[in-house]
């Protein structure tokens, strides 16, 4: 047997320098991480032949090194494994099975009560026991798996969250190209406080290419209101909406997301804390606040408020010159774009 081992050592000596007593890599892989660490001690010791130098290099005491050196057998690497520290004689519990059973019953009856409360209940029944002893009994019952505990609420919520269906909304692909009106429409909400106890939510949409805006006010910032706003945009915009970009607001989930999916409109979701990626509609909201809400006397009735918004929307899209469009209105720019891309439009639409 020693002859075979010698052959193996010469074969692998070039792979593991200084480890003349390691018979093969396969044998080394069968030991634990701690055993491999101790094997490096003796590899270093074999190479330099100095125990003190090895102890300083690996940061261990001489007593530790020599203890493992006495145990180490170079033909049996399992001798480097740690031994169990469990005492031969373990103190047995002095608590009667009746008390243990009663603690189990009370814990299952009141699963959210801790050891202190259960100890009080046991004292009322004439069982004198400390709360720490009750805690130890509960831990032993849990370790044995005989105690029925309620489902952890937090874990259950995480499990439900993992089971949720993936959203229709996705991150915008890096290769997605925005070249025509309707290729990307940014949508956001603007909170408008008309009175101390009267708040409206304006849904705003801006086409990235033509700068056309769509505006509508609602009493609630809900996904159902978002779906109504989507229908409004389809009626108002003179081009087909291909994709919409939104933030992570709840008003753009459920009904709004479902409506986009049914209409075949791509829905792109912004990463968290990145409103600058929706910069067109964010800038539009500022304009609406400064040029409409800070100038006009807004009607308190929602219907009248939306009529005012439609008038302002017409001014914004048909009359107001836009500096970013070389002082054309959005609809003038759109008509000009149609003339320049007449052939492409006939194929696309």
Does residue 313 contact residue 207 with C-beta atoms inside 8 Å?
Answer: no
Give the model's pLDDT for residue 155.
65
Angle of the 51-58 helix axis to the 62-71 helix axis, nearest 10: 110
Task: Give the tens place of pLDDT for each residue, 120-129.
Answer: 999 999 999 9
Q: How long a stretch of residues is the chain?
A: 349
Measured between alpha carbons, how far is residue 295 from residues 83, 185, 189, 299 in Å?
A: 83, 27, 20, 13
Nearest Cα to 192, choosing from 303, 302, 313?
302
Give the model's pLDDT for residue 11.
41
Q: pTM of the prediction?
A: 0.55
Q: Which of 42-46, 240-244, 339-343 has the highest mean pLDDT?
A: 240-244
318 token code pair = 């048909």
Give the model's pLDDT for residue 92.
78
Give the model's pLDDT for residue 217.
97
Measured distance CA(156)–CA(330) in Å, rounded? 51
Does residue 245 contact residue 184 with C-beta atoms inside 8 Å?
Answer: yes
Give the model's pLDDT for residue 3.
44
Of 9-23, 150-164, 253-267, least confident by mean pLDDT is: 9-23
Nearest Cα to 186, choosing from 241, 228, 256?
241
């Amino acid at each position: 047997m020693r002859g075979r081992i010698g052959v193996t050592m010469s074969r692998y000596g070039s792979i593991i320098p200084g480890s003349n007593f390691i018979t093969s890599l396969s044998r080394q892989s069968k030991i634990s991480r701690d055993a491999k660490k101790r094997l490096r001690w003796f590899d270093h010791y074999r190479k330099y032949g100095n125990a003190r130098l090895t102890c300083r290099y690996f940061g261990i005491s001489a007593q530790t090194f020599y203890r493992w050196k006495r145990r180490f057998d170079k033909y049996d690497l399992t001798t480097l494994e740690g031994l169990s520290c469990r005492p031969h004689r373990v103190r047995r519990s002095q608590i009667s099975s009746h008390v243990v059973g009663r603690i189990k019953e009370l814990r299952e009856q009141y699963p959210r009560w801790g050891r202190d409360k259960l100890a009080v209940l046991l004292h009322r029944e004439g069982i004198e026991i400390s709360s720490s002893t009750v805690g130890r009994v509960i831990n032993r019952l849990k370790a044995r798996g005989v105690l029925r505990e309620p489902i952890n609420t937090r874990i259950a919520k995480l499990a439900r969250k993992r089971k949720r269906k993936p959203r229709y909304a996705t991150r915008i692909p890096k290769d997605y190209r925005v070249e025509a009106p309707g290729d990307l429409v940014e949508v956001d909400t603007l909170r408008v406080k008309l009175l101390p106890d009267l708040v409206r939510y304006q849904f705003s949409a801006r086409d990235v290419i033509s700068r056309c805006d769509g505006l509508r006010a609602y009493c609630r910032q809900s996904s159902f209101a978002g779906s109504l706003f989507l229908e409004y945009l389809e009626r108002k915009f003179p081009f087909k909406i291909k994709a919409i970009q939104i933030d992570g607001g709840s008003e753009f989930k459920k009904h709004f997301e479902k409506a986009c999916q049914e209409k075949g409109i791509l829905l792109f979701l912004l990463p968290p804390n990145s409103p600058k990626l929706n910069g067109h509609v964010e800038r539009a909201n500022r304009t609406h606040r400064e040029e409409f809400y800070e100038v006009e006397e807004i009607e308190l009735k929602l219907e009248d408020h939306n009529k005012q918004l439609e008038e302002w929307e017409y001014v914004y899209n048909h009359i107001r010159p836009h500096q970013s469009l070389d002082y054309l209105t959005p609809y003038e720019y759109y008509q000009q774009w149609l003339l320049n891309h007449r052939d492409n439009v006939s194929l696309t639409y």
